[in-house]
């Protein structure tokens, strides 16, 4: 979240600087307005493309010796996964968001970290965890993760 705020602040600062430069150029009558608008458009297009490329992480599927597939995620994070049994997830009444929370809990993230990563409040995470405990018939979140892995829903 902090990165988004910082990025937005930098974009606002750049736009203010560019608008001030445009005001000076128009007052001095050195450039036509259409040229300035075109330059601004191209500049923001390039900034947007560069920023979007920086945000995406490429995940490669590498076959392993087991029946599982190893996913290579950001540096030093390796996760062994099987495809989740979506029909069982639906039968158990687990919503998409609850499944997302369960997957993040399986990675060992705290409620606050899950909330920040999924852009939801911490109380919403707690509610989803409570619902999952009931649906998976577990007493603790670690037990819920264990049951979910045994049932192949994460």
**Residue 69: its pLDDT value, please?**
47
| Residue 97 reports pLDDT greater than 60 | yes
Domain boundaries, the chain: 2-55, 82-150
**Residue 1: its pLDDT value, please?**
65
Predicted TM-score of the model (pTM): 0.49
| Residue with the larger pLDDT of the pair 143 and 85 | 143
**Residue 61: its pLDDT value, please?**
47
Tell me the per-residue pLDDT of 108-151, one tens digit each, with 9 for 90 and over. 999 999 999 999 999 999 999 999 999 999 999 999 999 999 99
**Residue 66: its pLDDT value, please?**
47
Rounded to the nearest 5°, which phi and psi values hold at 93? Answer: 80, 25
**Residue 5: its pLDDT value, please?**
77
Is residue 85 within 8 A of residue 126, CB to CB? The reply is no
Fold (topology level) of 82-150: Arc Repressor Mutant, subunit A (1.10.10)
**Residue 59: its pLDDT value, please?**
47
Tell me the per-residue pLDDT of 1-26, one tens digit each, with 9 for 90 and over. 677 777 778 888 877 877 777 777 66
Half-sphere exposure of 86 (CA within 13 A, CB side): 2
Rounded to the nearest 5°, which phi and psi values hold at 151? Answer: -85, -5
**Residue 132: its pLDDT value, please?**
94
**Residue 70: its pLDDT value, please?**
47
The closest of 87, 126, 121 to 105, measured between CA atoms, is 126
Tell me the per-residue pLDDT of 25-83, one tens digit each, with 9 for 90 and over. 666 666 676 776 777 778 777 877 777 776 554 444 445 444 444 445 555 554 455 67
């Amino acid at each position: 979240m902090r990165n988004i705020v910082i990025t937005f602040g930098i974009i606002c600062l750049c736009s203010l600087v560019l608008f001030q430069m445009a005001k000076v150029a128009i007052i001095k009558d050195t450039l036509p307005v259409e040229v300035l608008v075109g330059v601004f458009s191209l500049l923001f297009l390039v900034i947007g493309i560069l920023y979007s490329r920086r945000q995406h992480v490429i995940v490669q599927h590498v076959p392993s010796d087991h029946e599982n597939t190893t996913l290579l995620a950001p540096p030093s994070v390796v996760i062994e996964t099987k495809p989740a049994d979506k029909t069982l997830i639906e039968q158990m009444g687990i919503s998409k968001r609850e499944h997302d929370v369960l997957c993040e809990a399986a990675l060992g993230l705290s409620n606050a970290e899950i909330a920040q990563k999924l852009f939801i409040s911490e109380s919403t995470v707690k509610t989803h965890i409570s619902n999952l405990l009931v649906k998976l018939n577990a007493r603790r979140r670690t037990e819920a993760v264990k049951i979910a892995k045994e049932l192949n829903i994460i």
